[in-house]
Amino acid sequence: MAPSMTSSPLHCLTFSLLLALLARSVAIPPSSSPSRGGRHAHSPQHSSAYIVYADHVAKPSNFTTLEHWYTSTVASLSPAANSTRFLYVYDTVMHGFAAELTVDEARRLSNTPGVTGMFKDKAVHLHTTRSPAFLGLDKDSGIWPDTDFGDGVIIGFVDSGIWPESASFSDIGLTPVRPSWKGRCVDGERFNASMCNNKLVGARTFTAGTGAGTHTEWLPGRNEVHDFQSPRDKDGHGTHVASTAAGSEVPGAKLFEFASGTARGVAPKARVAMYKACGPMGFCTTSGIAAAVDAAVKDGVDILSLSLGSQDHDFYKEPMSIALFGAVRAGVFVACSAGNSGPDTSSLSNVAPWITTVGAATMDRVFPASVTLGNGQVLTGQSLYAVTANRTDFVRLTAVAQRLHTKDLVPDRVMGKIVVCAGDLGGDAALGAAVQNAGGSGLVSVATQDWRMEGLVVQAFTLPAVSLGAREAEKLAAYVRSEPYPVASFRFTCRTVTGERPAPMVSSFSSRGPNHVVREILKPDVIAPGTNILAAWPGESPLTYSEEDEDPRRARFNIQSGTSMSCPHVAGAAALLKHRHPGWTPAMIRSALMTTATELDSHGRPIADNGRRGGAGDGATPFAAGAGLVRPQQALDPGLVYDAAERDYVDFLCTLNYSAAQVRMFVPGFAGCTRTLPGGVGGLNYPSFVADLSNGTDARVLTRTVTKVSEGPETYAVKVVAPRQLVEVAVTPATLEFGGEPYEKRSYTVVFRNKYRTPPNAPGAAAGMMALFGEIVWQNDVHTVRSPVVFMWNRREPAAAAVVRHPTAAAKTGLKRKRIAVGSTEQYEFDETSGGLGAGAFGAVFKARHRATGQTVAMKRHSTADGGHATLLREARFLEDACCGGANPFVVGFHGVVRDPVTWEMCLVMECVATSLHDLLRQRPRRSPPLPEATVRAAMWQLLTGAKKMHDDAHIIHRDIKPQNILVDEGQSTVKICDFGLAVSTDERHPYEPAGTLWYQAPEMLLEKPDYDAKVDVWSLGCVMAELVNNGRPLFQGSHDDGQLCAIFDVLGVPDDSTWPWFSSTPFATEVMPELDMQRYNLLRELFPETKLSTEGFEVLSGLLTSNPDMRLTAAAALEHPWFAKVDGLELAKKEKIVSTLPKPHKRQRLRAVCV
């Protein structure tokens, strides 16, 4: 997906905040782009686009064509239905149609005979002179001349259109397209068929539903965006992508004076067919994409390149996955971009095994520029600013508000100054334009260690500006810290430097695995250059985009970054292989690219992951790099390939337990599953391995079949690289012998034996996913066939292990399974009479009313210091999952996320609840009698039930449960947990540091145990229970970490080897031990005698407040205690009125609707 160039809230920081962020290594999130997902609620009469799957075999005989059947079926639904509501008919890669239907029509149509499935249409996003040489392509020798530069192979692009006048699409020296080609060019706005030639052999449009004024619910705040009603490209994305894969040779290509040289695509003589399915701002629909794919396969393309996508769910629910399955069935190789949501784990798009998923890498090319500080220190960065003369005088570095929007960059704040901002993928140029409009003298765009690291994405700035990597930014911070009047100057070289090492690195923005749909299929498959790629650009499109389109510059070439740019590199490489090996299947081409890819950089060291905290020193795992960087020359002769046919993919779908009806969406006429893959879904004949050894699995057995594609007899010997202390890998046979016949096949079996065992109560037994990596290599003197291997366990283990998110949990938690739909604040009216509802470390809360329903809600806006929009969206995902789809009434209700269409500021929308437990407890008079035990029991039953669902169903640890984060609904007598700003998932790597409020932190957290689990929440609930019994007085009140531990052990006794066997091995134990008075007795009962708490109630309290987490109750176990068995749980919550025993809020008190 290409980076969005539209303007957004500026991530400009005060220097104090900047320094704090750098010191804490807190991620500065990407600037927000306009939301393209999430529709508004519609009335039953409002029509929306639906994709309808049909069993074409079931067509009644009285209909002459499928289209006749489809239109008649829709017309029978209502008198208003007519053919103009049809968008597309699918008859090649899948069968059915897309049409505008009301909810009632869709419901009735779903029950019509012959309709096998129906899904609402949805939004999908669009995700070079040096890169061919970087991939080892040479015009005088090797794969280019050997394959005649891909001559005659036709690559189909599903994208934003094409600029036919570009020299990259010249057909000089090309022969006519093959006679079997059925594609055509269609006339339209400023485009006619005569613009096509022997290079551009097809151009059609599939943008129904993406034009101005249509489906604007997908583009909140953006109702009118003009686009050419033709294959002509306004956005620039499609032109850039197509020329990257198949651009003709263009001498003298450059952007200003940068990246000068001869531009050519990876397959310079391949032909281009553009299927425009994306409209304004990179907005596409699944119905249009499916129609484009359907047409491309019918026309006869050889390769499909799609630099777009969204996160997959079940494959049968994804029209794009279904359409691309049909393309592969027809023999078309499909390359798709992995997405730009890195470096987060499980953030991939396009993970189906029939697709080749491409991540992004950096190249060995930089555009150096520097910032000279007032103390003489020179900071080296990058810039595409086209300067005519360097300015050497020093200019004041400005300190501005914590987070600015474009309208806030007023001249009196920035006039004549250099502004320091946190940049992000695609946002730097928009920041520069905004600063320039406000009179700023320059811009320094900095990255922190948690975001882009040293692999800078550069933009064509409109004012003097330099991007700095994390290490240089730290030096800038140190200078500003020491200077009351910091100044700086710029030096621009306008030079392009190649040969920089190490190269490549995995680009920080490139989406990462593991595969969140099927974890046994490794994704991405490969990486290719995707950072700072020069390619063709529409002659009338601005080089950079912002809200006001300030950029007047135009150019024939532009430099762009994203996995959108890496995908066409692989499509071009596939075209070269297709020319040499026209009989190869899509799976064989993918296998050749994967097994010959390299995991080493130009220095012979493992490719670094530029998105990991350690930067260039951290090696990329297969979850980031797949099999490695593609090497087209080596892929031409891979020796062996792993093939897969339609039957293999059908068996894969059957192994996923898809029903016959669901499989029929992929394979029309499918009768039913008769077999599954041996070894599970990991048994697909894939060029990589994932050995899932979770849940105590003793062994995993997987079989692979390789096909010889080289000439003459060959013998291969196997080499295995694995973490032998944890797993034993046995390959049978250990040698593979082939005769001289072409396409001979041999099978081998791999047994992965699990040697790792963790006792249930041993340290490190907390739930989580550990992943280690290795490889299986078949080699001889000529060929090396390498397959990456991932070993997975569901127990956290050695510190050196890479711990990653549990892929199957993505389906449960939704953290990476989907994006949060973003609505508009215009749907709400802010309550001006109540003022703010609260403010704290993580944001401010306001009361609002939904204009249509009148419902009162609370809106939370995050502060910049907390990470802004990225943190808000993360909290939104946690809150949505913790609510368990409405099945957890003891968590504050989640209503969604909205964005201000003017300022682009985002807010979290939640249930508005009366007040917090903290506020109510603090209002109790000092001499009030204790709360009735029945009241405490009712509150604790609700809190523990909410925690149980949160822990067991949603896999979430809250980490900050306290009375301030517990709301009390006065009308329902219900308590609700809120504020998930510090939450983590038990299925992803923990931060391993203390979090939350000191008085409620569990001992193991204070002792810096590296893998604490959900029982830290149980401890916090025990502290809340003690506070309820104790009339609102906190039980443990330390002033710092060791003081808090002393306060805990003064009451519960200092642990020893009998009460907490591994206490002394925790990191902080040796430091705190000398401060303890070695009090060994548990005094808890003395503080809570039977006059305060019954025997059964005390058993619950003491079970929650047990220092040793292995002995502490879980939320589920606590609920099984007889104390809660006296009355049915739900009846208990109804009868024991919580707020009835607490004081009412004072009339003048502001309601605290959510915790902050």
Going along 493-616, which residue ranges are E strands? 497-498, 505-506, 526-529, 533-536, 557-560, 608-609
Which member of 127, 237, 405, 581 is catalytic? 237
Q: Which of 121, 159, 1011, 1017 is catalytic?
A: 159
Residue 100 phi/psi, 5-degree rounding, is -85, 120
Alpha-carbon torsion (773, 777, 781, 783), positive or negative: negative
The candidate with the shortest Cα–Cα distance to 537, out of 165, 271, 272, 129, is 165
Distance of CA 648 to the CA centre of its chain: 29
Please report which helix (H) or strand (E) contains residue 107, including its range. helix 103-110
User: Is-catalytic flag, 1011?
Assistant: no
CB 861, CB 844: distance < 8 Å = yes
**Euclidean distance between CA atoms 413 and 421, whole angstroms:** 14
Cβ pair 1014, 1114 in contact under 8 A? yes
For residue 366, the surrounding DSSP H or E stretch is strand 365-366
d(CA 96, CA 995): 52
To the query of whether residue 215 is one of the catalytic residues in this protein, the response is no
CA angle 1091, 1092, 1097 (to 5 degrees): 110
Set 321, 441, 511, 564: catalytic member: 564
What is the C-alpha separation between 363 and 497, in angstroms, rounded? 11
Calculate the CA dihedral of residues 88, 92, 93, 99 and round it to 10 degrees. 20
Q: Are 50 and 101 in contact (CB under 8 A)?
A: yes
Instruction: Compute the half-sphere exposure of residue 862: CA atoms within 13 Å on the CB side of its CA.
Output: 24
* Binding residue positions: 860
Task: Return phi, psi of residue 75, to 5°.
Answer: -65, -30
**At 272, is the secondary structure helix, strand, or coil?**
strand
Sign of the torsion angle spanned by Cα atoms 775, 792, 341, 1013: negative
Helix runs in 390-454, H state only: 411-414, 428-437
End-to-end CA distance of the chain: 34
1051-1071 burial: b if 16+ Cβ within 10 Å, else e: bbbbbeeebbebbeebebbee
Q: What's the rounded Cα separation, in Å, for the pair 254 and 129?
A: 8
DSSP-H helix ranges across 553-687: 563-580, 586-595, 622-625, 632-635, 646-655, 660-664
CA 1117 from centroid of its chain's CA atoms: 35
Give the C-alpha separation, 117 to 414, whole Å: 57
Helices assigned H by DSSP within 462-509:
470-482
Instruction: Tell whether the torsion through CA atoms of 540, 546, 551 and 556 is positive or negative.
Output: negative
Binding residues for ATP: 860
User: From CA 37, how far away is CA 58, in angstroms rounded?
Assistant: 35
Q: Which residues contact 771 (CB under 8 A, 6 or more apart)?
A: 514, 621, 623, 790, 791, 792, 793, 801, 802, 803, 804
How many other β-carbons are positioned within 10 Å of the β-carbon of residue 390?
A: 14
d(CA 618, CA 728): 26
Show the tokens assigned to 412. 């009196």
Residue of 290, 246, 233 lying closest to 152 (CA atoms): 246
DSSP class of 308: E
Collapsing DSSP to helix, strand or coil, 527 comes out as strand
- The rounded distance, in Å, linking the Cα atoms of 244 and 131 is 9
CB atoms within 10 A of CB 1128: 11
41: left (phi over 0), alpha (psi -120 to 50) or beta: beta
Asked if 564 is an active-site residue, the reply is: yes
**C-beta separation of 878 from 958 below 8 A:** no
Active-site residue numbers? 159, 237, 564
